[in-house]
Amino acid sequence: MRRAIYGGSFNPIHNDHIKLALQFAEQFELDRVTLIPTHYTPLKDNSHIADGKHRYQMCLLATEDEPLLEVSDIELRREGPSYTSETIAQLMNDEDSLYLIVGADMYMTLDKWHDCRFIFDHVTILVAPRDEVDYDSLNEKYLFYREHYDCRTLIAHQAIGELSSTLIREGIASGADVSGMIHPRVLEYIQQHDLYRE
């Protein structure tokens, strides 16, 4: 099975997250994309992240109608920071070819991640371009990783959409209409649990 790991805070999960996962599945002929909400992320500000149980439930709601997508709470069940290398180690088996989906901005810092060599050794990196990271910079980093880590990288045709969880949280806090940005069931869940109001 060709399986991709797609980790993130998903705070909250939005339409571009789902679109990107499905685009990768189509372009690289993946059998499954596993969305993994992080417990907390070592290299990011975690002060505005909703409780993991809420983010996990929102991911389940957003993917209910997508058979190629699944959600795992593997990182939420671990204590401490979410290290991708540990997640890969837990998910590795003889049947699956593992891939890791990252945005271009994350790709540029992969060599700073915990146990990055293990990551490079055991997965193929799938990169989603972002406007702020141009292809020249991306290619330069790709060549560096290939030379120093023998890293396998595939770059998607499609760029990441313009939506961001930060934009959605700010919209909810200000009372703006965000219904076109997230799945209706996710929006209903946010309203029921009074999330992102502050």
pLDDT for the residue numbered 41: 58
Question: Can you tell me the distance from the alpha carbon of 9 to that of 1, in angstroms, rounded to the nearest whole number?
Answer: 25
Per-domain boundaries in the chain = 2-100+153-192
Q: Cα separations (Å) of 95 from 2, 6, 91, 147?
A: 9, 19, 11, 28
pLDDT for the residue numbered 196: 95
pLDDT for the residue numbered 74: 95
Question: Can you tell me the distance from the alpha carbon of 198 to that of 141, in angstroms, rounded to the nearest whole number?
Answer: 38
pLDDT for the residue numbered 80: 77
Q: Which CATH number fits domain 2-100+153-192: 3.40.980.10, 3.40.50.620, 3.40.630.10, 3.30.1490.190?
A: 3.40.50.620
pTM: 0.91
pLDDT for the residue numbered 55: 97
Residues of the chain short of pLDDT 50, as ranges, are none
Q: Cα separations (Å) of 132 from 105, 136, 197?
A: 8, 11, 29
Q: Per the omega criterion (within 30 degrees of 0), is the bond before 42 cis?
A: no
Which DSSP state fits 109? Answer: T
Is residue 62 a contact partner of residue 18, using CB atoms and an 8 Å limit? yes
